Every structure is written in C-alpha cells, then in structure tokens.
Amino acid sequence: MSRLAVYVFWERDGIVRDYVITYLVGLTAVADKLYVVVNGKIQPEGRQKIEKETGAIVLQRPNEGVDFWAYKTGLDHEGGGISTYDEVILCNCSCYGPVYPFTEMFEEMGKRDVDFWGITEWPLNAGGYQGTWVLSYFLVFRPHLFLSPEWVYYWKNLSPVRSRDECIEKHETKFTGYFAEKGFTYDVYCPSSPGYLDPTIEAPDELVIDQRCPVIKRKAFCSDYGRFLPYRKGDASRRVFDYVKEHHLYDTDQILMDMLATQHMAYLRDCLQLYYILPDHGANAARSTRRAVICFQMSCEELLDENFQTLRGLPSLVDCYIMAPGTLLKSVREKVVAYGVQNCTIGESIGFAGAIGALLRVSDQLENYDCVCALHDGHAVDLTAHCVNAESRRFATHALLASPGYIGQVLEQFDREPHLGLLSPVNSLHGPYSNRYGQEWGMNYANTVTLLQWADVDVPISETIAPIAPLSGMFWFRPAALKRLLELGIKEDEFTVGNEDGTLYHAVLRSLPYFAQSAGYLSGEIIPVSATANHLVNLSYLYRQDNLALCGSANMTYVPVEVCIGVRGALKIYLKRHLPIGLTSLLSRIYHHLRGK
C-alpha cells in the first residue's frame, strides 16, 4: 500500500527540534512520499536535517492560514499525482511520537471499511455540526474520498482564516461534518471516553496506556492546570510521561527540551508535578558523589546558634561558605569551632542582598561544585513580627537542609534528574505568606523583564503566569543553571538596605527560574516528609475558608463557569447546544464580520 503524507511545521524561530525529526522518521515507515510544509521560518540546518534523515520534500510558505492552508499547499504541489496513492495522510507538529510504531495503527485501521479516519475525535457538538468531529492533527483519507468531486471542491473553495481559533471554527469543526453529510464514512483509532472535552489533553495516559495511541499532544504538558482538574486529579500528563520513559517507548528528553525552549515553566511544573517530597532521614549522603556547597549569608548575631545547629554534621562532600558583615566575623569564627563545622570558608559581605549576595561573593568558586544551596537568616530581627518571620525562615531552611540524610536525598534527586536545575522550598502558608499565591510578582514584573532582557534571556514570561521562584530567598541549584546570572557582574553594593518590593533583589529572585530555563533546566519545589502533613492541613483549611467566603454559607451550592475553557468558551458551547444550527452559524458569521474576518 502506497501513501502520501503532508506534515505541517511551525516554530516561532524556525528551529527544528529533535521531536520533529523523530516523528518524521516514524512517519516514513508508513508513507512513501513526504511533504513537510513550513508555515513561516525554518533554520537552514533544520531543513537540511529533515531532508537528509527523512528524504522529505520541504515546502516553505508564509505563515498564513494555519494548518489547513498548509495542507492545501502540500496537496496542490502533488497535484494529479495524488491518484497514484492508496492513502493520503495529513498531520502536524503538535504531537510527540511515535510512542508505538505507526504501522501498528495503520494495520488496525486497514481492517475498517471507511473513507477517512483519524486518531481521536472531539466529543461535543461543536462548530454547528451535530456530532463529533475528527481532530485534524492526524487525518488519513482513501481514494473514494480524495479522488471525489467533493474533495476537489472543498480544497478549491477553502475559505481564508487569520487565526488558529478561526481555523478551528471554520475548518476543523466543519471538516468531518462536511464530508459525512455527503455520505462519506469515518472512524477513529482511539474512541473518546465519556466526559472529557479533549482526551488528548485531559487523559493522554488513558490514550497511550489503555488504547495504545501512538502520539502524545504537546498541549498535555503545557496547558493551564485548570484544564485538567474538572476531569481528573491532574496527574495524567505526569503519568504518561513516566510510563513512556520507564517502558523506553519514547525519549522524554525530547519532550523536556522542546517544552523548556517554548513554554511557560509554571505550566510544565504543574503538568509534570515537579514537587519533591523527600524523607527527612535514612538516606546515606555518602552514596552521592556530587560535591555540594552551602552559601550562607549570616546577618543576625541573635540567630548564630540556630544557624550553626543547621550546619552541624554536614556530609563530608558538602563544603560551606559563610558570609557575614565585619562586625560578626569574630563571632562566626568562634561558632565554627564550637559547632565543629568542617570544610568551612568565612568571608566578609555587606549583607544587603541575603543569599544572593553570598552567591555573588563566591561566584567564581561555584563551578567547582555540582550543587549549591543558598541560605540566609534574614536582614534583622523584627520583634513585632518575629514569630511570623522566624517561622517562615525555619520552614524554608528545614525544606532545604532538614538533616544530613535529607541533604543526601536532595543530592540524589539531582543525580536522578539531570534536567533539574532549581529547587525552591514550598511556600509558607501562615501569617501573610499565603497571600503570595496569586501575588507572586508583587511589584516586580517590569524589573524582572528588564533584567532578563539585559541578560539576553529569551524564554516565555507573562505577568499573568506565576514565576516558579524561591520567594523565601533560599534554594538549591546547579551552577550551570544560573551561570549566566552569576556572570552578569552584578555587585553586592547594587542592592539596597531593606530590599523593598520593586528593587533589584526581588527582580533577581524572580528571574532565577527563567535563567535556569534558558540554560535547559527545570525548576521545582521541595518539602520534607515531616512538614507535609502540616502543609496539607494548612492548604485544606485555607481553601475551605476561601470557599466559605465565596459561597456565604456552608449550606449553599454554586456552579462555577467551566474554568478549563473560560467564559467565552463556555458561552459558545452553551449556545451551540441550545440554539438551532442555522442561528448558531448566522451568529458566528456576524461575529467574524464585526471583527473584520
């Protein structure tokens, strides 16, 4: 059986990443001729790699018309030659795969007597067509359809579109209905499970594990977390990631490298559940061969004993740099001896910039280590809020250095995950600290963007999406992840006393995950087992109080707008379910006309 395939490629900068090559190589197992239609840019080396490794014919066009107009370009280029094929495949770069060989799927679908088919379908009545529609990321057609007058007419009269949403509205949602109403039959390889809006996003684990779906949609790893919770408990993306990794079905490094280069770290953190709950004790720290160092900014004499209790009994592979103002140096040296802290270097610092200042002071030494822990003890003891601040500081310190055995667990986590670059303590929830959720930027978005631009860091950032930053000012990291920041030449005396919101100190803290991401590293959060129960109690209590405030009474029920699709999406679905088809189509045309479409 001979097949023609048209694959649509788009990337903002035209970079062809490994996942694209892997997909195309997999496609050549079922396609005799392959067109790669590029919407917009493609880097020369990427084009050469496609041509060399897949034998594809690369067609480049303006980035107009989204997928369907790119499909049309490939089909038009083939022209009458399409009649020599038994099947025509249309697919795009929105998926990772193949997880299982495409031949397996084609063998199964070859047993079904249909005119066209796809991998999955949309289960709602959308776009004015009363029934499901086959998702356009992978479509296969047979001669009864692609040699028909209806096929020729459809592509010859393909209406222009100016956005992805308009392409979905005018083409993807109408395509299945257009041909089904003309008598052509269709099917899908993976039938939808009841209740999902789009299982390729909300249930990729069920598709891959239970139905042997050969691809995983990229959106499964980079959608807002609100898309998942209405359907499941939110672990589907992590589950499918672990499954294909553990069963050696797909190189998950290709997923991570693509996501880190193109998506918001907050989405990736949530979709992959990058929260680490580690045992407080029991690990043999000596098992890790990684060299680590603790950079500790000490500023308060009243806290020296507490600080050195934390440093007592460090594993042998862990060094310690202690920075302190000149007035504290004598006391610090005495405490080092009294507490028996080994492998310790003491230096003088101004103390304005907390742990960041300590790192800047010894930045030229950090490349000698595999992992670094940055700590501080605060800038001063404020007796009016001492218990609140002290508890937050202790919570963060415990999350990073709970015990010598715990430090070993942290180092082993870095061993196990070579892409892990930054670990921050889970945010405190007592006092005012719970307010950080939803207010992570404070007054620091603009100055963080300015800092990143100065450093030539180009990764996704948005004022509406939280930075995965250590707002406590304390964290573990790989030196390679923050190398660019540490080499910027920022001086400790550029920070201000008190580090008010909106100053350089807060911009640097919030920039950390973006520097790590630009270097190809993930950011996550960490908490020891001993602190987890208390944290869950706090979360449960605060969430219940918020719901009570929203509802006004424990006896009142309310129905929220579907958070996964927003108000506009919920309204569109409601109208399509309850209005006649003709009226829905008329309203849609009026809407697009008013928007100049």
Give the model confidence (pLDDT) of 103-131 as tens digits: 999 999 999 999 999 999 987 554 444 45
Please check whether residue 192 is in contact with residue 112, taking contact to mean a CB–CB distance below 8 angstroms.
Answer: no
Give the separation between CA 23 and CA 440, rounded to whole angstroms.
38
Which string of DSSP letters, residue by residue, matches 346-398? EEE---TTHHHHHHHHTGGGGGG-SEEEEEE--SS--GGGHHHHHHHHHHHHH
pLDDT at 129: 43
| Its pTM surpasses 0.85 | yes
Q: Tokens at residue 532, please?
A: 């987890």
pLDDT at 124: 57
State which amino acid sits at residue 262.
Answer: T
Q: Which of 429, 355, 19, 432 is nearest to 216 (CA)?
A: 19
pLDDT, greater one: 142 or 172: 142
pLDDT at 390: 86
pLDDT at 592: 54
Q: Which residue's structure tokens are 């997880």?
A: 99
Please check whether residue 222 is in contact with residue 264, taking contact to mean a CB–CB distance below 8 angstroms.
Answer: yes
In the predicted model, is pLDDT for residue 238 greater than 60?
yes
Q: Which residues are CB-contacts of 19 (< 8 A; sequence separation ≥ 6)?
A: 96, 254, 255, 257, 258
User: How large is the average pLDDT for residues 497-523?
Assistant: 95
Q: Which of 97, 14, 23, 7 is nearest to 58 (CA)?
A: 7
Give the separation between CA 564 and CA 71, rounded to whole angstroms.
29
Q: Which residues are CB-contacts of 496 (< 8 A; sequence separation ≥ 6)?
A: 352, 503, 504, 505
Count CA atoms closer than 13 A to 311's CA, side-chain side.
Answer: 34
Q: Tokens at residue 99, please?
A: 């997880």
pLDDT tens digit sequence for 72-87: 999 999 999 999 999 9
End-to-end CA gap in the chain: 42
Per-residue pLDDT band for 33 (boundaries 50, 70, 90) equals very high
Please give the domain boundaries of the chain with CATH numbers for all domains. Answer: 3-189 (3.90.550.10), 193-273 (no CATH), 275-531 (3.90.550)
Helix, strand, coil % in the chain, rounded to nearest 5:
50, 15, 35
Per-residue pLDDT band for 162 (boundaries 50, 70, 90) equals confident
User: How large is the average pLDDT for residues 40-62?
Assistant: 98
Give the separation between CA 527 and CA 266, rounded to whole angstroms.
18
> Of the segments 263-277, 314-328, 348-362, 556-570, which one has the largest average pLDDT value?
263-277
pLDDT tens digit sequence for 368-384: 999 999 999 985 444 44
Per-residue pLDDT band for 583 (boundaries 50, 70, 90) equals low
Q: Which residues are CB-contacts of 44 (< 8 A; sequence separation ≥ 6)?
A: none
pLDDT at 174: 80
pLDDT tens digit sequence for 387-425: 888 889 999 999 999 999 999 999 999 999 999 999 999
33 bridge partner residues: 4
Q: Which residues are CB-contacts of 534 (< 8 A; sequence separation ≥ 6)?
A: none
Give the separation between CA 280 and CA 257, rounded to whole angstroms.
32
CA distance readout (Å), 295 to 39, 186, 210, 311: 48, 63, 48, 11
CA distance readout (Å), 503 to 441, 443, 445: 12, 9, 11
pLDDT at 526: 98
State which amino acid sits at residue 237.
Answer: S
For the chain, the average pLDDT equals 90
CA distance readout (Å), 422 to 371, 408, 468: 10, 16, 9
> Of the segments 156-160, 360-364, 523-527, which one has the largest average pLDDT value?
523-527
Give the separation between CA 272 and CA 222, rounded to whole angstroms.
9
User: What is the maximum span of the chain, computed from C-alpha positions, in angstroms?
Assistant: 90
pLDDT tens digit sequence for 299-345: 999 999 999 999 988 888 899 999 999 999 999 999 999 999 999 99
Residue 545: CB atoms within 10 Å? 11
pLDDT, greater one: 464 or 386: 464
In the predicted model, is pLDDT for residue 195 greater than 90?
no
pLDDT at 304: 95
User: How large is the average pLDDT for residues 496-511?
Assistant: 92
Please, is 464 exposed, middle or buried when counting C-beta atoms within 10 Å of its C-beta (0-12, 13-18, 19+)?
Answer: exposed
In the predicted model, is pLDDT for residue 30 greater than 70?
yes
Please check whether residue 134 is in contact with residue 175, taking contact to mean a CB–CB distance below 8 angstroms.
Answer: yes
Judging by DSSP bridges, how do beta strands 371-376 and 475-477 pair with one another? antiparallel
pLDDT at 384: 46
476 bridge partner residues: 373, 423
Please check whether residue 332 is in contact with residue 304, taking contact to mean a CB–CB distance below 8 angstroms.
Answer: yes
